Structure 1
Amino acid sequence: MPIARFSPFELLLLKSRSQVDTATLLLLAWVLVHRQHVSEGQRRRRLAQVTAQFRHGHELGPVMSIAHSQDLQAIQLAAEVVRKECGSERSLSIIHQAITVATDDGELSLANHYILRFLADLLNVAPMTLNTLFKELTGTPLATPEDPSRDAYWQTHDPDYHARKAREAEAAERQHQQAHARAEQQQRKKEQRHQQKQQKQQEKQQRQEQARQAREQEQQRQREQTRQQEQERQRQQQQREQAEREQRRSRQQDSRQQHHQEHRHRQQRASPPPPDRTTRALSVLGLTPGATRVEVRHAYRRMAQLHHPDRFYSESEHQVALASARFQRIKNAYDYLMQTY
């Protein structure tokens, strides 16, 4: 079973020869510690003077310590002891002593104003009785205590109240202005950061758009280059195919001419006299006797285009040599006919 622990005041009551006197002693000490402009020694001497007839049998130091500690539980216990053990006369005597120690210097502190009313309530002393007793002892009525929460109290008891309030208000206004300025500065910085961020995003988007346009231009250039290369390849292919067709026609014509010449040679061998030079020149140009000078010129141009040696540059040397000989015969025939006509 745990051992009960007693408070300092409960220990005093257990050791006291008179619990009522000890309880009264604490209530009076509670009033004394709220006296203004009084030293601790004066408080103890006044308490000893008022309680000289008490039979508590212990020192005053522990009681003063409990009163200074503002132990409300101890004060409540003391009031209950007095209320239980004392009659109305003793209660009035305690109130009388409390008023006496609270008003020795003629001034009642605000705290003791409330303490006297609190003690009177605890000891069942009516407010009217308290007022009457206070007036008999001090010569002045017990007025309603001032409210320290109101400005009027501090205007009376603190002359510097308004100046201090003005300084506090000014300081608060400065703090408010500084806080507002800091908030505006932070807001401006925030807006600047936001603008910088947007600007960076816009610059990034512009760079991306420029890069995209550059890629598209490069792709377009490559497509155009590919298209041109394809067109050039097709043109070269067409030229090669045209050259091959011309070569085939030339070879076929050479073959026909060779066959015709062979046939003519056979006829010449079989026939009496060979044709004259004019007839042979006309035959080389593919004309018949009686052709005009204009027909000779047109035939020469046509035959020169078909049998020029440059058209056979990709063929073998033998083919190039045949073409050169063929072209020379065509030119000789043309020159002869132009001189003759």
Structure 2
Amino acid sequence: MSIARFSPFELLLLKSRSQVDTAKLLLLAWVLAHRQQVSEGQRRRRLAQVSVHFRHGHELAPVMHIAQQRDLQAIQLAAEVLRRECSKEHGLGVMHQAIVVATDTGELSLANHYILRFLADLLGISPGTLNTLFQELTGRALTTPEDPSRDAYWRVHDADYYAEQAREAEAARQRAQEAQEKAEASQRQREEAERARAQAEREKAHHRQQRERSRHQERGSHRQNSQQGTSSTPPDRTTRALAVLGLMPGASKLEVRKAYRRMAQLHHPDRFYTESEHRIALASARFQRIKSAYDYLMHTYQ
């Protein structure tokens, strides 16, 4: 079988003088990799201290690298080796070393809160036993870890992160508000444009109606004038009759009689018997108009 099929940790186990010690080494390195405010050199020196009596026979750097890669398959394999090869007391000893490594220089990190519980579960150690062991080694209870999904955690542990989250939320809120304001402004502009178009249409319709009314009025006036021009009533007959007799409107009955006698003497056809037939015919027509005007006026004055 080619060794290329084996994972890095499996190769370490194959080459190790003690697979149990190599497995313990990886679990302790995993805890050290999650220590806060600890340099890489400090982690390696601390790992060397706790493994000084181990019989693995290989370098620590490959183990630390696997731990820093968060290779959970390697972690589970290490726990299986311990559970298979070691007694319950040996598992408690590994848990003891893990608690010491996680807490000997300060508070337990959030990651190691979960790692210790994970290791206890892999090694078959009950939560009650873990809490008792932690209390004996640190003098304090293993409390429930804080929830990093809550804002309260980041306010305490990473104020900069929380402030950045708050800034991003505020920026998102402002962007949403600006987008809403732009949408509302655009909607108002569309409504104003629509109202302007409607107003323009109404004004156009009003102007069209006015022009139509004007045209109708002009046509009606033209028809009326035409009718008046074609069917206008003649001047007053009394006025015409007085004019034939050479009188003005308002002349009295006596004045009509006098005017008639005078006009009859001047235009009677008998006076033109020596003239031509044409002159006699004209005189007869004039006399007839005078006689008709006189008769009409006399009838009117009755």
1:313-332 per-residue CA deviation (whole Å, 9 max, x = no partner) reads xxxxxxxxxxxx75422246
Pair 219,4 (structure 1): closer, same or farther in 2 beyond 3 Å? farther
Pair 223,301 (structure 1): closer, same or farther in 2 beyond 3 Å? farther
- Say what the alpha-carbon RMSD is for the aligned residues: 4.4
State the Cα distance separating 1:146 from its structure 2 match: 4.0
1:103-149 per-residue CA deviation (whole Å, 9 max, x = no partner) reads 322543333233222211211123333334334434x1433234245
Structure 2 gap segments, 5+ residues each: 232-259, 270-275, 288-302
Pair 52,227 (structure 1): closer, same or farther in 2 beyond 3 Å? same
1:17, 1:60 → 2: CA distance?
14
Map 1:105-124; keep pairs closer than 5 Å: 105=105, 107-124=107-124
Map 1:182-261; keep pairs closer than 5 Å: 183=180, 187=184, 190-191=187-188, 193-218=190-215, 221-222=218-219, 225=222
TM-score normalised according to structure 1 size: 0.56
Amino acid at match of 1:27: L
1:172-194 per-residue CA deviation (whole Å, 9 max, x = no partner) reads 67985896587457535633541
State the Cα distance separating 1:56 from its structure 2 match: 2.8
Verify the 8 A CA contact 2:135 2:142 in the aligned structure 1: no
1:220, 1:230 → 2: CA distance?
15
Map 1:55-66; keep pairs closer than 5 Å: 55-66=55-66
1:328 aligns with 2:279: yes
1:57-103 per-residue CA deviation (whole Å, 9 max, x = no partner) reads 33221221221122223222222222222221221221122122223
Map 1:50-129; keep pairs closer than 5 Å: 50-105=50-105, 107-129=107-129
State the Cα distance separating 1:153 from its structure 2 match: 6.0
Amino acid at match of 1:18: S
Amino acid at match of 2:90: R
Pair 119,223 (structure 1): closer, same or farther in 2 beyond 3 Å? same
Pair 330,47 (structure 1): closer, same or farther in 2 beyond 3 Å? same
Quote the residue 1:277 is aligned against: none
Verify the 8 A CA contact 1:148 1:154 in the aligned structure 2: no
Query: Which of structures 1 and 2 has the bigger CA Rg?
Result: 1
State the Cα distance separating 1:9 from its structure 2 match: 2.6
Aligned residues: 248
1:258-277 per-residue CA deviation (whole Å, 9 max, x = no partner) reads xxxxxxxxxxxxxxxxxxxx
Q: Percent identity?
A: 52
1:154, 1:66 → 2: CA distance?
29
1:227-282 per-residue CA deviation (whole Å, 9 max, x = no partner) reads 766886x77xxxxxxxxxxxxxxxxxxxxxxxxxxxxxxxxxxxxxxxxxxxxxxx
1:214, 1:109 → 2: CA distance?
89
2:146, 2:107 → 1: CA distance?
17
Secondary structure in 2 matching 1:105:
coil
1:119, 1:16 → 2: CA distance?
22
State the Cα distance separating 1:27 from its structure 2 match: 0.6
Verify the 8 A CA contact 1:131 1:141 in the aligned structure 2: no
State the Cα distance separating 1:301 from its structure 2 match: 9.6
TM-score normalised according to structure 2 size: 0.62
Secondary structure in 2 matching 1:214:
helix
1:146, 1:227 → 2: CA distance?
105
- The worse-fitting range, judged by mean Cα deviation, of 79-88 and 221-230 is 221-230
Quote the residue 1:142 is aligned against: 141
Secondary structure in 2 matching 1:125:
coil
Secondary structure in 2 matching 1:66:
helix
Verify the 8 A CA contact 1:96 1:133 in the aligned structure 2: yes
Amino acid at match of 1:77: L
Pair 206,327 (structure 1): closer, same or farther in 2 beyond 3 Å? farther
Map 1:277-316; keep pairs closer than 5 Å: 297=264
1:63, 1:136 → 2: CA distance?
29
Pair 168,29 (structure 1): closer, same or farther in 2 beyond 3 Å? closer
